[in-house]
Structure 1
Amino acid sequence: MIGLGAVAYFTYHTVEGNRGVLAYFRLQAEILDAEMHLSKVASERAEMEHRVQLLRPDHLDPDMLEERARIMLNMGREGEVVVFDKRR
């Protein structure tokens, strides 16, 4: 009876404990979520770095400069229609 109780105790904690099977699956799900978030943030960072690269003095893109100037000055040419992209 004591042996059966010990087996039941260890079996329960193998499944339900802090380092049990269910905790393992929960941690794997958290790791997957974190990796997906990392991938999203890394792609956003790469896009931002590319946009910054276009504004560097040694490689200045005239279109990017004009876009930033229009945003900062809140101005446009006469007869233009401005459509803002809220993702940026």
Structure 2
Amino acid sequence: MWTKHHKKRKFGRLILPAIAVAFVSYFSYHSVHGDFGLIATEAFERKRVELDGELKKLTAARESLERQVSLMSDGSLEKDILDEKARYALNVSRSDEIVIFNTEY
């Protein structure tokens, strides 16, 4: 009968813990530095706050334009608004008028 005798090796006991440390290190690194890691999440949050501020500005501008359009709609046509917009678009005024442009719109 043939038998194999294996010599007890000290590094054999370290293989499983070394593989476990490698897996944990790999996933830990990518949880911080990966495409969806902590650093990328902070960058996404900064960009979200920046775009949220821009959205608020654009929403205010849109509401202002909607208010102006409602004044010029068929049901409630305001002649002053129509006259103001026409003069501004055509760059026309009378010689006895003083023109002050308000650029809030």
TM over 0.5: yes
* Structure (1 or 2) with the greater helix fraction: 1
Give the partner amino acid of 2:51. A
Distance 1:45 1:11, change over 3 A: same
Structure 1 length as normaliser, TM-score? 0.81
Does 1 or 2 have the higher relative contact order (CA < 8 Å, sep 6+)? 2
Larger gyration radius, structure 1 or structure 2 = 2
Bigger mean CA offset, 26-35 vs 1-10: 1-10
Pairing partner for 1:17 from 34, 49, 60: 34
Distance 1:37 1:72 in 2: 27
Distance 1:72 1:12 in 2: 59
Distance 1:72 1:19 in 2: 49
Runs of at least 5 residues in structure 1 that lack an aligned partner in the other structure: none
Structure 2 length as normaliser, TM-score? 0.70
Tell me how large the CA RMSD over aligned residues is.
1.8
| % identical aligned pairs | 32
Structure 1 runs (4+) greater than 6 angstroms displaced: none
Runs of at least 5 residues in structure 2 that lack an aligned partner in the other structure: 1-17
Pairing partner for 2:52 from 35, 46, 56: 35
